[in-house]
Structure 1
Amino acid sequence: MKPQYWFRWLSVQGTPRVVLRLQARRGDPFAELVAGPAGYTDPYPLIERLRGEGRIIRTAIAFATFDHELCRSLLRDNRFGVRTQESFRVPKSMTKLAERFPLPPNPVEPPSMLVIDPPEHTAMRKPVASAFTPRAVGRLRDRVESVTEELLDALPSDGSADLIESFAAQVPIAIISEMLGFPDEDRAMFLDWGDRMTPLLDLGIPWRVHRRALRAMEVMNDYLDRHIERLRRDPGEDILSSLVTTGELDDHALKATASLLMGAGFETTVNLIGNGVVQLLAHPDQQERLRAEPELWPNAVEEILRFDSPVQTTARTALTDVDIDGVRIREGDTVVLSLAGANRDPAVFTEPERFDVGRENAKDHLSFSSGVHVCLGASLARMEGVYALRALFGRFPELRLDGPPQRRELFTLHGYHRVPIRLGRRAAMPEPSVV
Structure 2
Amino acid sequence: MLPGTAIRWATKHGFMRAGINAAARRGDEQARFFTDPAVRQEPYPFYKTIRDTAPLVRGRLMWATARHDLAAAVLRHDAFGVGFTDRPLPAPVALMFRFSRRSSPIGPVDPPSMLVVDPPDHTRYRRLVSKVFTARAIEGLRPRIERTCDELLRDKPTDLVADFASLLPVTVIAEILGVPLDMRRQFLAWGNAAAPTLDLGLPFPLYRQTEINIKRVNVWMRGHFERLRRNPGDDLLSQLVQLDDLSEDELLATAGLLLAAGFETTVNLLGTGASLLMRRPEQLAILRDEPQRWPNAVEETLRYDSPVQVTARVCRREADLGGYAIAPGQVVMAMLGGANRDPDVFADPDRFDVTRANARDHLSFSGGVHYCLGAALARLEGEVGLRMLFERYPDLRPDGPPTRRTTRVLRGFETLPVTV
Same fold (TM > 0.5): yes
One-letter amino acid of the structure 1 residue matched with residue 262 of structure 2: G
Is 2:21 the counterpart of 1:21?
Answer: yes
Compare 30-39 and 63-72 and name the one that shifted more: 30-39
Query: Which residue of the partner structure matches residue 10 of structure 2?
Result: 10
Partner Cα distance (1:137, 1:246) in 2: 23
Partner Cα distance (2:148, 2:92) in 1: 50
SS at structure 2 position matched to 1:278: helix
Matches within 5 A, 1:232-271: 232-271=229-268
Deviation for aligned residue 1:85 = 7.1
Compare 75-84 and 225-234 and name the one that shifted more: 75-84
Deviation for aligned residue 1:56 = 0.6
Q: Is the 8 Å Cα contact of residues 177 and 262 (structure 1) preserved in structure 2? A: yes
Is 2:312 the counterpart of 1:312?
Answer: no
Partner Cα distance (1:368, 1:31) in 2: 24
Partner Cα distance (1:356, 1:170) in 2: 27
Deviation for aligned residue 1:302 = 0.1
Partner Cα distance (1:172, 1:359) in 2: 26
Deviation for aligned residue 1:139 = 1.6
Q: Deviations over 1:85-126 (max 9, x none)?
A: 785x98664355323312222221111111111111101110
List alignment gaps of at least 5 residues for structure 1.
425-435
Distance 1:146 1:91, change over 3 A: same
Partner Cα distance (2:145, 2:294) in 1: 16
Partner Cα distance (2:55, 2:99) in 1: 37
Deviation for aligned residue 1:27 = 4.2
Instruction: Kindly report structure 1 stretches of 4+ aligned residues shifted beyond 4 Å.
Output: 89-93
Q: Is the 8 Å Cα contact of residues 173 and 259 (structure 2) preserved in structure 1? A: yes
Query: Which residue of the partner structure matches residue 405 of structure 1?
Result: 402
Matches within 5 A, 1:132-147: 132-147=133-148
Distance 1:378 1:148, change over 3 A: same
Partner Cα distance (2:77, 2:319) in 1: 11
List alignment gaps of at least 5 residues for structure 2.
none
Matches within 5 A, 1:226-375: 226-375=223-372
Is 2:209 the counterpart of 1:217?
Answer: no
Q: Is the 8 Å Cα contact of residues 110 and 116 (structure 2) preserved in structure 1? A: yes
Distance 1:126 1:266, change over 3 A: same
Q: Is the 8 Å Cα contact of residues 12 and 85 (structure 1) preserved in structure 2? A: no
Partner Cα distance (1:281, 1:28) in 2: 37
Query: Which residue of the partner structure matches residue 427 of structure 1?
Result: none
Distance 1:174 1:405, change over 3 A: same
Compare 32-41 and 105-114 and name the one that shifted more: 32-41
Q: Deviations over 1:340-389 (max 9, x none)?
A: 11111111001110100000000000000111111111011000000100
Partner Cα distance (2:343, 2:90) in 1: 37
One-letter amino acid of the structure 2 residue matched with residue 181 of structure 1: G
Partner Cα distance (2:335, 2:25) in 1: 22
One-letter amino acid of the structure 1 residue matched with residue 93 of structure 2: M
Q: Deviations over 1:279-337 (max 9, x none)?
A: 11222211111111111100000000000000011111111112222322111111011
Partner Cα distance (2:411, 2:83) in 1: 20
Residue-pair matches, total: 418
SS at structure 2 position matched to 1:335: strand
Deviation for aligned residue 1:23 = 3.2
Q: Deviations over 1:21-41 (max 9, x none)?
A: 333344433222122423321
Q: Is the 8 Å Cα contact of residues 132 and 377 (structure 1) preserved in structure 2? A: yes
Partner Cα distance (2:393, 2:150) in 1: 12
SS at structure 2 position matched to 1:154: coil
One-letter amino acid of the structure 2 residue matched with residue 171 of structure 1: L
Deviation for aligned residue 1:19 = 2.4
Partner Cα distance (1:16, 1:85) in 2: 13
One-letter amino acid of the structure 2 residue matched with residue 101 of structure 1: S
Query: Which residue of the partner structure matches residue 178 of structure 1?
Result: 175
Distance 1:358 1:85, change over 3 A: farther
SS at structure 2 position matched to 1:236: coil
Query: Which residue of the partner structure matches residue 98 of structure 2?
Result: 99
SS at structure 2 position matched to 1:101: helix
Partner Cα distance (1:266, 1:36) in 2: 27
One-letter amino acid of the structure 2 residue matched with residue 58 of structure 1: R
| Identity in percent | 46
Q: Is the 8 Å Cα contact of residues 73 and 321 (structure 2) preserved in structure 1? A: no
Partner Cα distance (1:421, 1:312) in 2: 25
Partner Cα distance (2:310, 2:98) in 1: 25
Partner Cα distance (2:35, 2:54) in 1: 21
Q: Is the 8 Å Cα contact of residues 83 and 315 (structure 1) preserved in structure 2? A: no
Distance 1:375 1:94, change over 3 A: same
SS at structure 2 position matched to 1:153: coil
TM-score by length of 1: 0.93
Distance 1:165 1:60, change over 3 A: same
One-letter amino acid of the structure 2 residue matched with residue 98 of structure 1: F
Partner Cα distance (2:56, 2:257) in 1: 30
